[in-house]
Structure 1
Amino acid sequence: MGFLDMLTGTRRPEAGIAPRSAEELRAALLGLNGPDVPYVIGDGAAHGADLVAQWRIAEPAWQTFFIGSQLTHAIRIRMRLAEDVPEVRAVEESWEVTRVGNPPRLRTSAEYTRGAGRTVSRRYTLQRGESGRLEATESFSFDSAQLTDPLRNTTLEAGWTWRGVIFGRL
Structure 2
Amino acid sequence: MSLCQLLSILELFHIADGIEKARLLPRFIQVTEKNLLLILVIMLEEIQSEPVVCVQFLLWNILDLLRYPHELLRVMGTPSVTMLRTRYTLWIPLYVLSVATEGVTLYQALPLLEAAGPNSIPIHPPFILLFYLPVLVLGATVTVWQLLKERQRHLDKLNNKIKRR
TM-score by length of 2: 0.29
TM-score normalised by structure 1 residue count:
0.28
The structure carrying a bigger strand percent of its residues is 1
Between Structure 1 and Structure 2, the one with more helix by share is 2
